[in-house]
Amino acid sequence: MPSLILFLELAAIAIIFAGLPLLYLWRKPGYSFFQKLNWVLVFMTFDLIVFGAFTRLTDSGLGCPDWPGCYGTSNPFHALTEIQQAESAMPTGPVTVIKAWIEMIHRYLAMTVGALILVQVGIAFSKLKSLGKNPLLGSLGLLVLVCVQGAFGAWTVTLKLQPIIVTIHLMLALVLLSCLTLYAQQSWEEKLSAVRVLRIRPISAQLLTLSFVVLFIQVFLGAWVSTNYAVLACPDFPTCMGSIWPETNWSEGFTLWRQLGLNAQGEFISPVALQTIHWTHRLFAALVLMVLGTLGLKALKLATPVLSGLGLVAKLLLAVLLLQIVTGISNVIFQWPLLAALLHTAGSAALVFCLVRMSYWASWKPFIQKKMTSI
């Protein structure tokens, strides 16, 4: 069991890491501290997702095989002897000094996000009379979500990178990013002002909802590819193993509860099952491109000088879609280079961010665009 001293040391590290952005926000003029903190949390969570991908792609997820510390200590420096012994016993294994530091830095960043959300809860509570209960309830929901995410982070280690656990861990990270972005774009102070700003909502909520659904399915498929190390199961493009429709094994490929590298029977997973995982992700990408591309082009067409923010988000969405195509193909052609894989994960997080930002201009009612006519 982790000791009290370990928890105190980790808490001190989280406070120090969280104190740096808080100090920056306190010294930076402009919007209210609460609004700035909310957007910093979005930025920090995005960084956490990308660094989590770096941790996975460098095989550092078990760099510290216990949780929450590293061999019962708060940092790899204190566990240097144990790490070196593990590395000597298994030179090609998952434990090295560098991998241990990568894993612990990922945990430090996660603790920083958690600490900042605690600060967010405190500020929302202090503004309960002026802002109402909604900011506090939303912040408490974010706190619960980040705790659940932390639990899946622990299970990722203790269950030895079981694919479904790692996949859910990534999915929850994107859900957290979505919720933080949605929370940050709320103008809590403006809602209590006597002045009401009329918001134009030209985006179809139906199309936006469809975009969310297909994107999250594709993110799940992509995470399933990555956690099963199926990126190179189809080493050619646009075909797979030289075939337009390769041999498939859906039941083995999409058996969710099993150990890494094994099938449900405890045997090594077959190459055909890995091909199926890869091929499904590649096929579904075409649907994602069609739906999100349609949304981006429609948003760009509806953008006006009054809706300049919508135009910027639409351009970002289309640019990230292009990035996803390039990096996805590069992962196959260039044999899964680290940079392309990192950009691919960052692109999926950026797409989620863009869709949530577009919800600011979305409505379930049909938008009627009026044209000015000269008399």
Give the residue numbers annotated as catalytic, written as ranges.
Answer: 103
Amino acid at 124: A
* CA gap 237, 223 in Å, rounded: 20
Q: Which residues contact 322 (CB under 8 A, 6 or more apart)?
A: none
Secondary structure letter of residue 365 according to DSSP: S
SS in 3 state form for 94-137? Answer: CCCHHHHHHHHHHHHHHHHHHHHHHHHHHHHHHCHHHHCCHHHH
Buried b (16+ CB within 10 A) or exposed e, 51-74: bbbbbbbeebbbbbbbbbbbbebb
Tokens 């949304």 found at:
295
Q: Which residues contact 209 (CB under 8 A, 6 or more apart)?
A: none
* CA gap 118, 130 in Å, rounded: 19
The answer to whether the beta carbons of residues 124 and 131 sit under 8 Å apart is: yes
The answer to whether the beta carbons of residues 308 and 295 sit under 8 Å apart is: no
Amino acid at 351: L
- Please name which of 171, 170, 287, 271 lies closest in space to residue 230, comparing C-alpha atoms: 271
What's the alpha-carbon Rg for the chain, to the nearest Å? 23
* CA gap 351, 323 in Å, rounded: 11
Q: How far apart are the first and last CA of the chain?
A: 80
The answer to whether the beta carbons of residues 247 and 272 sit under 8 Å apart is: yes
Which residues are bridge partners to 70 per DSSP? 73
